[in-house]
Amino acid sequence: MREKAYKVLAKQLGVSNKKAKELIDRGVVYAFGKKVKIARGEVDLSTRFKVVDYAALEVIFEDENVLAVNKPAFLTSEEIEKDCGYRLLHRLDKETSGVLLLSKKEEFRTKAIESFRQKEVKKEYLAWVEGIVAESAVIDLPLITQRKGGRARSRVSYSKGKEAVTYIEPIEIVSKYTKIRATIETGRTHQIRVHMARFGHPILGDVYYGGKEFGRVMLHSHKIELLGYSFEAPEPREMIEPFAQNFKFS
């Protein structure tokens, strides 16, 4: 017999249907080594699910101007904005972890936005990508972003795209995967994800842009510097030990 995935999960965990659907929508539920993407999709009643734990939000720094937090994967930037009561200065994708900044004063927000516009903000990311990246490189490919059904998707467009520059540096190689440091001059939507996919080394877990299925999109916002501030978020365990058996699903 078959039943909707969220209902089977709810019975397995002993939680409400609403909570089970929320877990699937968040992207932390797996079955048969793959992420369950459609809560209302039907599965066999005997299906056994695995739910990935996600960390709690951590405050890195706070003063009268800014709140810097270490965003865990699977928590959206918008949820954090709503819960904290302050306005986002930028966004991280749901499965991207790391430094996220919110402004506490409109005057500071105005200055910060101008600093972003003037390319004065330094942003460093860490990522695990597919394949061997042997040398540092500069990826300079203009991007255009389109939105459909509430989802954004970016692609390279030489005729209509906006400037996007990413500097990458390999820092560790394990098997057929490379850990890279990526710094960006611009902050286009999904910039590093699209650039690495186009470079032939998609980010591990980034199935949206051609990467292999994994526990999460293996991208971490490591450092941000702006307006005299400097913030750093330590890497979560899965970024340090990505191939631990209790995290790998494919």
Strand extents, DSSP E, the chain: 2-4, 29-31, 34-35, 42-44, 50-51, 58-62, 66-71, 87-88, 97-103, 122-130, 137-140, 143-148, 151-156, 165-174, 177-184, 219-226, 229-232
Count Cβ atoms within 10 A of the Cβ of residue 235 and give its class: 0-12 exposed, 13-18 middle, 19 or more buried.
Answer: middle
Q: How many CB atoms lie within 10 A of CB 151?
A: 8
Q: Is 93 a catalytic residue?
A: yes
Output 232-240 pairs: Cβ under 8 A, ≥24 positions apart. 232/60, 232/99, 233/60, 233/70, 233/71, 233/97, 233/98, 233/99, 234/70, 235/126, 236/55, 236/72, 236/73, 236/97, 238/73, 239/97, 239/126, 239/128
Count of other CB atoms within 10 angstroms of residue 114: 11
> Of 154, 163, 209, 159, whose CA–CA distance to 185 is shortest?
163
Distance CA 234, CA 242 (A): 15
The single residue of 44, 53, 93, 140 carrying the catalytic annotation is 93
Which residues are the active-site residues?
93
